[in-house]
Structure 1
């Protein structure tokens, strides 16, 4: 009889444990972009804030695909999705273990890395400007980005770094998309 009572009291606990596991999985999935697998704004922000607190030499980058609407309109949404996935992969690879990449939405991406030097900027520029292979064709892929070095800010705040990176990115777009700028 005691075994029967023990089993009956374990069943609800097991149900709550399974339910909790499902909820935890759904929360984790909500912090990832379903198309690219990158962190969404909320998931990226929490990690980025921790990284910039630990590494005062960190840099925040904002990345925007160039001519994305034309690519989508000319080659279809599947080609656009492929461009987003490829950009995410290139940005994730460039960040490596010393940074974190995210997708803000649309064709906007964000990253934070511990250190940013000229070689890193050149490598990112090359990665984001390599053509995209889609259905056997080579399609042009390009992105503009701006960077903000945390050390250049009066206070190391992520929101200020994103604002400065955004301004640097639009300055780059205004120069004809010929490379990145940093906020200095």
Structure 2
């Protein structure tokens, strides 16, 4: 049996398969935030839009911003800030369970798309405002949560509505975006 034709076809096929697998893994890694393990904006957008289209009447879009996060970084260092971000991600993931998606959009800003959450928003606010243990200290963390129900909206419109709602709930009554 002459193996030359099989090898001539098989070796390049194996190379392309390996390369394709490598690229797929890199793409999946790029859609996850390395610090928190949450989806990034790109990974979140595709899945969130699909969830909204599938269940428009049951979907809630949330935008979460950690209050005075810069103070934690400035006072306790970036490692403490990273611990707060990771704890926030864990709390969001636990709260969402299998009925939603959580993402870190950047900095201290997070987004969630979840099904049937109206009666659970208080639990989320309570969880996010729990102190975070860091190096023998318990750091007080505050989070502002804005909600939107995008029955017929696009994800971008729902996030904008949640953003407005979040800033209406910010401590001190700030209702406009920071610059």
- TM-score with structure 2 length normalisation? 0.92
Q: Partners of 1:77 and 1:133 in 2: how far apart?
A: 14
The alpha carbon displacement at 1:11 in A equals 1.2
1:131 touches 1:140 (CA, 8 Å); kept in 2?
Answer: yes
Instruction: For structure 1, list consecutive stretches of 5 or more residues without a partner in the other structure.
Output: 178-184
Deviation readout 1:143-169 (Å, 9 max, x if unpaired): 101000123xxx332111111000000
Q: Where does residue 126 of structure 1 map in the other structure?
A: 126
The alpha carbon displacement at 1:116 in A equals 2.1
The alpha carbon displacement at 1:24 in A equals 0.5
Q: Where does residue 45 of structure 2 map in the other structure?
A: 45
Aligned-residue CA RMSD in angstroms?
1.5
Map 1:114-153 → 2, pairs under 5 A = 114-118=115-119, 120-151=120-151
Q: Where does residue 169 of structure 1 map in the other structure?
A: 166
The alpha carbon displacement at 1:138 in A equals 0.8
Deviation readout 1:107-150 (Å, 9 max, x if unpaired): 000001111223x1111011100100001111111110100012
- TM-score with structure 1 length normalisation? 0.89
Matched, 1:73 2:70: no
Q: 2:157 aligns with which of 157, 160, 163?
A: 160
Q: How many residues of Structure 1 are paired with residues of Structure 2 in the alignment?
A: 173
Instruction: For structure 2, list consecutive stretches of 5 or more residues without a partner in the other structure.
Output: 175-179
